Amino acid sequence: MTTRPSAPSESSAKQALAAFFAEKMEPLARCREHRAKVVTAMECAGLGNPREIKSCRNGRRCRSGLCPVCVRILRRHLLRFLVARRLHRLRWHFVTIFVAGWTMKPGDASSFGDLRDHHPIENFTTQLKRLGGEGLILVGSIETDYQVVANQPVGKPFHLHCLISGRSEDQILSAARTCFDLDQRVVLPVKRLLVGPTIDDFLSAASYAFKQPFWKKSRPSPQATARRQWPKPAELAELIGNMGVHGWGGRLILVGVRNDNGKFRVTTNLSATNRMGLSAD
């Protein structure tokens, strides 16, 4: 298999993954605390079925996309799979896409609707498949966060984070412009970054492509760097309503990879992926 010059050995990659889990993955205890807060918010707002999440435990997981513990489990499964199949050795772009009309207003707790199955997302993945033949792998998700500027809520923009291998930066940009009504209020509505060469670079990008579902970002001014926080109870209830009830993989967008209830497998031609993933833009 053709690899990057800096591709680590299998044992080194496993060691890096273990270190990442220990040092950078959200702790289980914190996820349990957050799960309890999600249940309380759901109970107070009359949202979904909080009893299902409240009863989540070893041997009887709720597998809800609203459960921080189950999302953590799925995130770990995904990262283990990517490293076990040596997909970190490919050439990847990290892509963030902001779409016009996908921002929920403050105070609006209604459902955004389809998550990964939103029609423009399906069009985007289909267009990427058409652009370059075999070899495409995409791992990403749709997400939102509760945004506050100068202590004033400004909205909850749904957006995409994707890791893409097997397509050039120009092809990715072309597909995004074709399939989405991009949000021109954002300086870069399609942000593309080439993932760095180290295993740590890859793990950071892959974990960011599928994160925990509930975040608040606060800025003192529009241009300032955001500080990531856990949302307040009313903000959390809004985010739960916006996300809607969905399974633990309901936000996960996959091409060339399949998720069978937490067990991942490759469905694309890896030899083609290696040729295309390592090709120059």
How does pLDDT run across 212-266, given as a tens digit for each residue?
999 999 999 998 999 999 999 999 999 999 999 999 999 999 999 999 999 999 9
pLDDT at 28 over 60: yes
Phi-psi region of 49 (alpha: psi -120 to 50; beta: other; left: phi over 0): beta
Confidence band, pLDDT 50/70/90 cuts, at residue 93: very high
User: Residue 188 pLDDT > 50, yes or no?
Assistant: yes
The reported pLDDT for the residue numbered 134 is 83
Q: Is the pLDDT assigned to residue 4 strictly greater than 80?
A: no
Position 277 scores a pLDDT of 46
pLDDT band, residue 78 (cuts 50/70/90)? very high
Gap between the terminal Cα atoms of the chain:
20
In angstroms, rounded to a whole number, what is the distance separating the alpha carbons of residues 218 and 211? 18
- Whole-number Å distance between alpha carbons of 75 and 207: 7
Instruction: State the CB neighbour count (10 A cutoff) for residue 46.
Output: 9
Structure confidence at residue 9 (pLDDT) = 81
Residue 133 pLDDT > 90: no
Place of tokens 């909205």: 155
Q: For the chain, how big is the Rg over CA atoms in Å?
A: 19
Q: How confident is the model at residue 273 (pLDDT cuts 50, 70, 90)?
A: low
pLDDT of res. 8: 77
State the chain's mean pLDDT as an integer.
93
Of 168, 179, 160, the closest CA to residue 116 belongs to 160
pLDDT band for 6, please (50, 70, 90 cuts): low
Q: What are the distances in angstroms from CA 200 to CA 58, 163, 208?
A: 30, 15, 12
The pLDDT value given to residue 279: 36
Given a contact cutoff of 8 angstroms between Cβ atoms, the answer to whether 274 and 87 are in contact is no
Above 60 in pLDDT, residue 72? yes
pLDDT of residue 1: 32
Q: Provide the token pair at 20.
A: 């990442």
Give the integer Cα–Cα distance in Å for 236 and 263.
Answer: 29
Residue labelled with tokens 């909080």? 50
Q: Provide the pLDDT for residue 39.
A: 98
The three-state DSSP-derived secondary structure of the chain is CCCCCCCCCHHHHHHHHHHHHHHCCCCHHHHHHHHHHHHHHHHHHCCCCHHHHHCCECCECCCECCCHHHHHHHHHHHHHHHHHCCHHHCCCEEEEEEEEEEEECCCCCCCCCCCCCCHHHHHHHHHHHHHHCCCCEEEEEEECCEEEECCEEEEEEEEEEEEEECCCHHHHHHHHHHHCCECCCCCCCEEEEECCCCHHHHHHHHHHHCCCCCCEEEECCCCCCCEEECCCHHHHHHHHHHHCCCECCCCEEEECEEEECCEEEECCCHHHHHHHHCCCC
Cα–Cα dist 159/144, whole Å: 6
